[in-house]
Structure 1
């Protein structure tokens, strides 16, 4: 997370502000469109170019036609962009990896988007700064820094972009909407920011009283942007390993790599051991002659490599690496020791950028994988004092030292380091790997059985003789007994429709608890009790819960018989049935997967209740903090194919699993909070791309 300590009660208030901001989107858009329809004709009259003037008038005319539809759809667009911003902006068109896929029209639209965001931000800056100061004071600074909060002007402009993309309008009209609408939103958005800051002020005051201090990553975004003159077009050419100046020459990959020169000759020399000394001498000479070798500072090393760059694409590559490392070194989610390792790797990455532009475009490049493995694995610990982090850092430091000592500039040295790291980490946690494999097997088995049980439960409820059955009897049949029937079918290899004849229990129970039918099956009560015991034991049902179900069903049968014969016996007292949950796991499955049970579901509720997906759309690989006795760091390492079950793994190798319902509940209560939904390296490169967008829009 960020450097703040986030409080659940403040998070709830913040989420309410975000939700209300989305709901207020209709009024915001209505006011914006009304202002646009008043002002755009006058703006068009001042445009000297007749084509641009007519296109702006056309955009205003279409805006008037679409006014009602745009107003009604804007809250949903806002909500979608808010959710995307909370999840880490990976769906944004401003991501580093998407640049190669953008056409010229999309490039221009994104440049208009960035330009509109800058104009809107400039117009609301006083109110925005007050809101951001309040968020920081309340300890609500998001992961990645204050400039990442979901209410920022860029998100509002992206909502306009989303709406424009969904509307049946021409690209020319869409671009003018993006260019002219954002600034017209400023007045109402400024009022909204002021109201939210006022609403969050008590939380900020309470946080300050508790000694909480809002922290950003310490580096102003504008200062970072000024450190680069990258533009999007240049960045896209770099990703294609070609710049405008390189158009007439092919880029020679690894032409300056130590390994590309040395390894072939080494293969020949090892055949003659007398030449080993000669080989070592050549290696030392090459390393000593490398650019920047022996310099006292990282800045002088960078300058030496800039002098070594012979093509614009090489200079751009050096700049991207430098900015990427800067972003990673400022990421508050990385512990100080890890940030130091990343900074130590910068010289090797800079040397690589000179000769191998594939680093930027190939996600599987060994150097990018090394950087990603280091940063992602480090998120498993929230403190340097956590158990296991010291061992992790020892392995990391050794591999880093070996990589730097090798002095290679090609991908081979990074590939060796990657294999060494993976082997060391795998050897350090064999128990954790076995635990995960065992837990996944248990959860896969449970999900398969639960899905089949859910289908069988629906079939039971659709039976004509179930319509008048007591809800307690239906709860048994659609709960544990549906699990019994599902387990029997999964274990059966004969293809029988009703293996073990457990379907007989369904009819017998339904008839035995209804007065008009109870007499027909009264003689089978002893057999029924035995079959229920047998079935529940097949799924390792707890004996105490089995006894409670048996007592409840016996009382229902006695009541039905007494009612049918007119004796009208008072129902016998009995223990309540076991709490019923939507997804059931056997005790062994719960133990093997560290299952966290759901809360109880009322007996009268249907067997299956729809669950919404987690708000952040958690993906496998995401890190979260879970609250127990304190906050602990876990990683989402597995999600079942049908999204029914989720498994988290701790750095110690232990596992914890839960249903989607439980996950949603913990998110809503603030007892589960997202740390990182996507690779840290991707986020650092996306920040480079955003800087390039900003530079492009200012040209």
Structure 2
């Protein structure tokens, strides 16, 4: 599979950490350039008001120069962490557009323009860096440009600083407009160093965003127009769910003439013509689709309808270009464009309502398809069979509202669930086991703390305390969980705590003399109640016996035997019984040693790895898994394979897997959300807001 990611992961992490550490020097150099260049920039401005505001921003910048230099590394570190976590930017989030006020629109437009200016200034070195990252398999497939070192992240760090400073909005916006491009010289050098570190031999240079930029240039959408579209509501008295768009405040975004139509039957005729043309000209589906798009634009009643059609077209272009989707899925996406375009003419709720049946259908089919990396998998063929049947039904229908999508979605979900009954049962059984384990471990932790707080525990050997706060606290917790009487010490296992503590301390061992056999029997009984491994039980028994002998010999002054006891079993923070491990596919923490990750972007924080995310896990080779469950208290995480198999691990193990480069994020958010966010990104680029 090309170069193995773990080979370069440590270098990559070190480079990100170093970039954050160099933030102070980067900001200092940027501010020096600003103080030197902004007076000339202001002098060249014809607009007196704009000149005055820039000079005011310069004065504030000079006053806060040291504070900005000191604060930038932390701001940069925070933005790196968000980028590594795969978080979606609120500014470029399609669903958030309707919530933005005028001031936010202005600032976000400035942010996008500043990011674009900085990106253009560093493009040659940025392209080399992204090619090196892709070749070293350090970025998700098809998303080489979504790395934490991208220019946009640096601009967001500037924005973070500006928002945290006591500034007027006008000064804040001038900082955001004029500071980021001045980072280019230092960022060029930084990119060159990182690319050289991680680049494998003979790395091919491939421009990362050429296709995306071409799609962006193909539209004249603006943020104002998208906000209007998201605010669209059904018109009163509109027949067949037809939406009465308000065409005021909309500009014509499509050059073709917008003509009134007699009724929606013309759209149905266009659909029929499209299917006939595709059948008559195999291999010319794209040509037919282009013709359909053009004809449909001319059928739009209002400019707003033409805008809706254009947004769907851009969204589908982005989905069809998403390399994370297998080719067969991308073909289905293209097949679904005509019915979605038809829907866009009559129902703009598709854009504003995440629960809209058409949006849910598109989201479900794209997200579920990420479970497979090969079309040869029989389960994928079953998945595709149901999907193609639903697509055919949507193409054949003459209805233009959301009802047909709702029916298709229900049929698909039923077919997919029926195809994986074993997987569903496995997940349910695994979740029950993990919930039980977390509940017991949390209670065991409380009981362990109480053991350590006992006065007679202060002088006990650490090995004895490891037993009492480890497996024995699990025994006491299990007894409480299964007991219905409300007893404080069901099973009487608290007696073992006191007896062990006294038996291993020379000053106290005489108090429990003659209880050794009873103690051994109670320990054996208790550990058996949690299905503790017999071999580990015997090792604990031997260790405790040796500690008792040592305490007794010290108390009586007799000689010790030369041979030492067996070592104790390895202590684990979160313990699962063998059956729980089997039912959940548990990966033990054995051998896990973690470097400090506090305030460092060394690994994707597990709390940011949201349920539903797809990842590739490295075992004998890379395999695709989905994070399908996280325990309520964040102790345990469960991944599910397309085959229905489950794999679970502790938070500690997950951190370790991330640090070792044995887990790479494929998708942390719905694919459809990403496609719509790309539409918003294009609109931000086109927005000429001053």
TM-score for both structures, normalised by structure 1: 0.88
Please name the residue that 1:221 is paired with: 212
Measure how far apart 1:634 and its partner are.
0.8
The 1:613/1:473 distance shift into structure 2, 3 A limit, reads farther
Q: Paired residues, what number?
A: 650
Q: Which residue number in structure 2 is paired with residue 28 of structure 1?
A: 26
Partner of 2:357: 366
With over 3 angstroms needed to count, the CA separation of the structure-2 counterparts of 1:368 and 1:216, relative to structure 1, is farther
Q: Could you tell me whether the CA contact under 8 Å between 2:342 and 2:400 is conserved in 1?
A: yes
Distance 2:351 2:458 in 1: 63
1:253 is displaced (CA, Å) by 7.6
For 2:669, the equivalent position in structure 1 comes to: 678
For each residue in 1:359-401, what CA deviation from the matched residue of structure 2 results, as whole angstroms up to 9, or x when unmatched?
Answer: 0111000000110010000001011123411111111111111
Query: Is 2:494 aligned against 1:484?
Result: no
TM-score (norm 2): 0.90
Please state if 1:190 is matched with 2:188: yes
**Whole-Å separation in 2 of the counterparts to 1:484 and 1:56:** 69
Q: Does 1:391 align with 2:379?
A: no
Residues 298-697 of structure 1: pairs in structure 2 closer than 5 A: 298-570=289-561, 572-599=563-590, 614=605, 617-697=608-688
Q: CA deviation at 1:137?
A: 4.0
Within a 5 Å distance, the mapping from 1:75-94 to structure 2 comes to 75-94=73-92
Contact persistence 2:145–2:208 (CA under 8 A): no
Partner residue in 1 for 2:47? 49
Comparing 88-97 with 396-405, greater Cα deviation is found at: 88-97
Moved more, 216-225 or 55-64: 216-225
Shift of 1:476: 0.5
For 1:228 and 1:572, the matched residues in 2 are separated by 81
Corresponding position of 1:111: 109
Q: Take 1:600 and 1:137, find their aligned partners in 2: how far apart are those partners?
A: 30
Number of the residue aligned with 1:130: 128
Show structure 1 runs of 4+ deviating over 4 A: 3-6, 213-219, 249-257, 285-289
Task: Call closer, same or farther: CA 1:523–1:612 in 2, change over 3 Å.
Answer: farther
Instruction: Identify if the C-alpha distance between structure 1 residues 69 and 120 changes in structure 2 by more than 3 Å, giving closer, same or farther.
Output: same
Residues 61, 373 of structure 1: alpha-carbon distance in 2 compared, 3 angstrom cutoff:
same
Structure 2 residue 138 is matched with structure 1 residue 147: no
- Is this contact kept in 1: 2:127–2:205, CA < 8 A? no
Which position in structure 1 is the counterpart of 2:248?
A: none
The CA distance in 1 between the partners of 2:498 and 2:207, in whole Å, is 64
Deviations 1:212-270 (A, max 9, x none): x677788523211111110111111111117xxx9xx879484559xxxxxxxxxxxxx
- Describe the superposition over 1:307-366 as per-residue Cα deviations: whole angstroms up to 9, x where unpaired: 110111111111111111111111111000000000110001100000000001110000
Q: Choose the corresponding residue for 1:180, options 178, 181, 184.
A: 178
SS at match of 1:388: helix
Per-residue deviation, 1:87 = 3.2
State the Cα RMSD in Å.
2.4
CA positional deviation for 1:5: 6.1
State the shift of 1:199 in Å. 2.2
CA contact (8 A) 2:131 2:144 kept: no
Q: In 2 relative to 1, CA 480–85 (structure 1 residues): closer, same or farther, beyond 3 Å?
A: same
Paired with 1:46 and 1:215, the residues of 2 have a C-alpha distance of 39
Counterparts in 2 of 1:148-297, with a 5 A limit? 148-201=146-199, 203-205=200-202, 219-241=210-232, 252=238, 254-256=240-242, 289-295=268-274, 296=277, 297=288
Shift of 1:89: 3.9
CA contact (8 A) 1:217 1:332 kept: no
Distance 2:385 2:3 in 1: 28
Partner of 2:61: 63
Contact 1:217–1:331, Cα closer than 8 Å, also in 2: no
Separation in 2 of the partners of 1:167 and 1:324? 37
2: CA distance, partners of 1:456 / 1:366: 49
**Deviation of 1:572 (Å):** 4.0
Q: Decide whether aligned partners of structure 1 residues 337 and 410 sit closer, same or farther in structure 2, where only a CA change above 3 A counts.
A: same
Structure 1 stretches lacking a partner, 5+ long: 258-284, 603-610
Indicate if the aligned counterparts of 2:616 and 2:666 stay in contact, CA closer than 8 A.
yes
SS at 1:185 equivalent: helix
How far apart, CA to CA, are the structure 2 residues paired with 1:5 and 1:360?
40
Q: What secondary structure, in the 3-state scheme, does the structure 2 residue paired with 1:105 have?
A: helix
The Cα shift of 1:304 comes to: 1.2
Distance 1:516 1:601, change over 3 A: farther
CA distance in 1, matches of 2:590, 2:359: 43
Deviations 1:628-666 (A, max 9, x none): 122111110000011100001111111111000001111
Query: Distance in 2 between the 1:252 and 1:47 partners?
Result: 52
Q: For the residues of structure 2 that align with 1:224 and 1:430, how far apart are their CA atoms?
A: 41
The question of whether the paired residues in 2 share the 8 Å contact of 1:94 and 1:686 is answered with yes
Q: Tell me the residue number matched to 1:73.
A: 71
2-structure distance, mates of 1:453, 1:140: 40
Structure 2, unaligned runs of 5 or more: 244-263, 278-287, 594-601
CA distance 1:348–1:683, shift in 2 (3 Å): same
Q: How far apart, in 1, do the equivalents of 2:561 and 2:31 lie?
A: 70
CA contact (8 A) 1:469 1:514 kept: yes
Do the aligned residues in 1 keep the contact of 2:617 with 2:664 (CA within 8 Å)? yes
Is the 2:81–2:604 Cα contact (8 Å) retained in structure 1? no
Q: Which moved more, 1:355-364 or 1:534-543?
A: 534-543
Partner of 2:413, secondary structure, is helix
Per-residue CA deviations over 1:667-694 (Å, capped at 9, x if unaligned) read: 1111111111110000011011101101
Whether the aligned pair in 2 keeps the contact of 1:513 and 1:557 (CA below 8 Å) is yes
